[in-house]
Structures are given as C-alpha cells and as structure tokens.
Amino acid sequence: MRTGLLGVGWDDHSSHARGPARAPALIRAALHDPAGNPFAADLTNVLDPDILHDHGDCHLAGDADDADRITAAAAAVLESGDALLTLGGDHAVTYPILRAVAARWPGVRIVHVDAHPDLYDDFEGDPLSHASPFARIMEQGLARRLLQIGIRADTPHLRAQAERFGVRTYPPDDIDTALMAIAALGDGPVYLSFDLDGLDPAFAPGVNHHEPGGLTVREALRIIDALPGQLVGADVVELAPARDVNGTTATVAARLVKQIVARIHRGG
C-alpha cells in the first residue's frame, strides 16, 4: 500500500505551550536530509513516489471549523486509496483524523505511544484539548480497541477514564508485554498514534511536556514492526521545534516516519 503524507500544523488546543504547528516542515526536511539516505531498515526506499506520496499540508484558518477541515483533508487522502500518515501538530489532531479513519475503516484498533493517556474528559474547559483526543474517540466508538504504551503521567481521573473505556495501558517497563498485546490484535485495520513525548526526553527533547523515564528509539521501532494486520493510518505528533536540540527530535520523527512507511508498504 502507498502512504499518503499530510501535514497538520494545528496547535490551537495545546494546554501548556504552542509550537507543534511548525513541526510538519521540519520533519519533512529531516526526511529529505542529504546527510542520510532514503532507505528504511528493510531497504524500502521511502522517497520512491510509488511508496510515499506527499499530499501537502491541510489548509487551516484558525477558527472553529479547523477540526472539520482536518477530518475532510484526512478523508481525501484515504479516498485516494493511500494509507494516511499525518505529521502534527499537537495530539488534538488525532480526534478529527479518527473521524475520517473510522468512517473508512470501521472497527479500527489504535496503538497509542505517549507519556500521557490523553483521556481527560474536559481539560481546562476544552473538550478538544490535546489532553483529550482519546476520550472523544472512545466515547464516540471510533475505535474498537485502544492500547497505550509508554504511559508514565497517569492521574486518578485518567485511570478511571481508562477503565470506563476498556483501555489497556502499558508503562515503559511493560514494553515486552505491550509488544505481545500488539501482536495479539491480529488481522484487521490498525492505526498508530505516536506522541514523541512517549520517548525518553534524552532521545526526543523537542517536546513541550518532558517526562523522564520513557521509551528508547529502538523500542519505538520494535513497536512499529510489531503492528499486525493492515496499518491504515498513523500520526506523529507533539514535536515542539523551539525545544529541540540540533534537530535531534525532528530526526527521530523522520526515522519513525521511515519505519511506518516501510511497514505500510509491506502490507499485512
């Protein structure tokens, strides 16, 4: 399957600091950086136009209709027949994206890498907050299953929300159990939502919410390769360029993108 790339520079619903709106161009630049080569670990050439097609950036106007614009842009990529890979933006992008993904792939299962569960019912009065996308997704039945990996910033409210929605949560120490749970999802459509703060800030300092004790890049690549079934969509979110150091986090994001594109290309 070909991957359709879509930039979604939306951070109006960040709770703490802005910045991820500027991330798509930087991840693209890292992907095309001549200091590296375009091959994934399995030797897929991820810059081959038959393997990766860039649909450009979602047009946003900074008003209340932007969520609908993101849903429409995601739907257009899926209607082209491509698997959808979006470059965020903060994590608020995932709810409008999943409205499009669930319409095309009912029963999709989500694998979510993050330090945070992002299950707040209503964070600081904003139901579209980047801390709330998975509450919206689960209460609207947009995903059949939700597995969360790398979680280490839980609260009593978030734990109750996870129980309410039947979400399985794996802290970083449970990576091996998480990999088995991912494999056990079996056949059918799968979506990967990757918040870069799921990684340890030593690997990915360019995020607004540092939570030490996170996943390694190698573990993240293992998660991508463990995804079963058909990978129909993915997002890479929360890159905050002003916090990055020497483009390290953008380069990590590009590495994840390569692994995701190769996984989509292999099919399932």
Q: Which residues contact 128 (CB under 8 A, 6 or more apart)?
A: 13, 67, 92, 95, 136
Minimum CB–partner distance for residue 117 and Mn ion (Å): 8
Minimum CB–partner distance for residue 250 and Mn ion (Å): 17
Element housing 231 (H / E): strand 230-237
How wide is the angle at C-alpha 109 spanned by C-alphas 105 and 112, nearest 5°? 125
Residue from the set 11, 66, 82, 118 that interacts with Mn ion by CB under 5 A: 118
Minimum CB–partner distance for residue 261 and Mn ion (Å): 22
Bridge partners of 84, per DSSP, are 4, 233
User: Which of residues 91 and 99 has its CB atom nearest to Mn ion in the complex?
Assistant: 91
- For residue 234, the SS3 value is strand
Minimum CB–partner distance for residue 152 and Mn ion (Å): 10
235 touching Mn ion, by CB under 5 A: no
User: Which of residues 48 and 121 has its CB atom nearest to Mn ion in the complex?
Assistant: 121
* Phi, psi of 24, rounded to the nearest 5 degrees: -55, -45
195 touching Mn ion, by CB under 5 A: yes
What distance in Å separates the CA atoms of residue 262 and residue 36, rounded to the nearest whole number?
16
Minimum CB–partner distance for residue 126 and Mn ion (Å): 14
Residue from the set 12, 66, 82, 197 that interacts with Mn ion by CB under 5 A: 197
What distance in Å separates the CA atoms of residue 93 and residue 20, rounded to the nearest whole number?
11
Residue from the set 13, 116, 136, 255 that interacts with Mn ion by CB under 5 A: 116
Q: Which residue has the tokens 């990766």?
A: 52
115 touching Mn ion, by CB under 5 A: yes
User: Of the ranges 38-46, 115-123, 142-150, 170-178, which one interacts with Mn ion (CB under 5 A)?
Assistant: 115-123
User: Which of residues 51 and 111 has its CB atom nearest to Mn ion in the complex?
Assistant: 111
What distance in Å separates the CA atoms of residue 125 and residue 262, rounded to the nearest whole number?
39
User: Which of residues 116 and 258 has its CB atom nearest to Mn ion in the complex?
Assistant: 116
Of 95, 185, 92, 82, give the one whose Cα is nearest residue 142. 95
112 touching Mn ion, by CB under 5 A: no
User: Which of residues 82 and 118 has its CB atom nearest to Mn ion in the complex?
Assistant: 118
91 touching Mn ion, by CB under 5 A: yes
What distance in Å separates the CA atoms of residue 178 and residue 190, rounded to the nearest whole number?
15
Q: Which residue ranges make up the site for Mn ion (CB under 5 A)? A: 91, 114-116, 118, 195, 197
